[in-house]
Amino acid sequence: MAADGIAIVAGRGALPRLIAEDCRRRRIPYRVVIFEGVTLDWLPGHPVLHEIFEKPGKLFADLRGAGCGVVTFAGGMTRPKLKPTRFDFKFIGMAPRLLSGLKAGDDATLRMVAEIFEAEGFRIRAPHEILRGLLVAPGVASRLHPGPADRVDTDRAFAIVTALGAADVGQCAVVAQGLCLGLESIQGTDAMLEFVAATGAAYRRDPAGGRGVLYKGPKPGQDWRIDLPAIGPETIRRAAAAGLAGIAVQAGGVLMIGREDCLATADAAGLFLWGYEPEPAEEETA
């Protein structure tokens, strides 16, 4: 049994499906791991392991039995409500660590989960290490390019997200004409863009000025192997509905889910998509 099989711990969204399809295409052995409470409509045709949070002993045994030595976490998951009557011996042995870890912030919880898998001998790999082309590359990917006002707004939004990151909050902000129109809280990017769509129009004072930029990037404390921010076609549609000029994301630090669809959506809506590099590359000396 090959221990280089990949276990895809599947959450919401298109990412786990894209990885599973990629594994199938490239004939890499894989299993889709579904925890109770996660509903996915793309499972038929894929090899699946059904698991529950309370029984990590069964999970590890299933993974070993399927030859999966590699684990990747793909797509958002909701924090589970645990039923203590179902705990297995493995869970009870790790209980103090698990229970305090689940009460911590998102970053700390995910780091704990990764460490538990590693202690069991599994290797953690990021989705973008398995599926090529997932990370946004430096430079403008869309037909439309950001103008000078958009670049100023992007710099400002980057500075704001960086400041927010120091408090372990949010991964994105909207800035138009120098004014901050939106900051991401726990409700996420879509909710913030809806807020901007409903309330932001009155604050673009200069009709000739920038229409605003959504900037998104990882927080400083994030474990890039298990949790990177992502954008998809829906992000782009909502940014367009909020009247923005485009989207800038930290180059190499944000996943673009469904690249073709994203680019087509951006070009159709007249938005730019920009892999932003906060520090300009230093010039090489001859």
Binding site for a copy of itself (CB under 8 A): 79, 105, 159-160, 162-164, 166-167, 169-170, 174, 178-187, 191, 195, 199-200, 203, 205
| Cα distance between residue 74 and residue 12, in whole Å | 8
**Taking the complex as a whole, how short is the minimal distance between the CB of residue 191 and a copy of itself, in angstroms?**
5
**Taking the complex as a whole, how short is the minimal distance between the CB of residue 161 and a copy of itself, in angstroms?**
9
State how beta strands 255-256 and 230-231 pair.
parallel
**Taking the complex as a whole, how short is the minimal distance between the CB of residue 169 and a copy of itself, in angstroms?**
5
182 or 258, CB closer to a copy of itself?
182
* CB 211, CB 201: distance < 8 Å: no
**Taking the complex as a whole, how short is the minimal distance between the CB of residue 189 and a copy of itself, in angstroms?**
13
| Cα distance between residue 93 and residue 239, in whole Å | 47
4 or 190, CB closer to a copy of itself?
190
31 or 216, CB closer to a copy of itself?
216
119 or 186, CB closer to a copy of itself?
186
**Taking the complex as a whole, how short is the minimal distance between the CB of residue 135 and a copy of itself, in angstroms?**
26
Cα 82 to Cα 66, 99, 122, 260, distances in angstroms: 26, 10, 24, 39
89 or 203, CB closer to a copy of itself?
203
The residue with tokens 């809806």 is: 194
Dihedral over Cα of 120, 121, 127, 131: its sign: negative
- CB neighbour class for 272 (10 Å; exposed up to 12, middle 13-18, buried from 19): buried
- CB neighbour class for 7 (10 Å; exposed up to 12, middle 13-18, buried from 19): buried
| Cα distance between residue 64 and residue 209, in whole Å | 58
187 or 270, CB closer to a copy of itself?
187
112 or 169, CB closer to a copy of itself?
169
The residue with tokens 């490239």 is: 26
| Cα distance between residue 159 and residue 165, in whole Å | 10
**Taking the complex as a whole, how short is the minimal distance between the CB of residue 142 and a copy of itself, in angstroms?**
26
**Taking the complex as a whole, how short is the minimal distance between the CB of residue 14 and a copy of itself, in angstroms?**
23
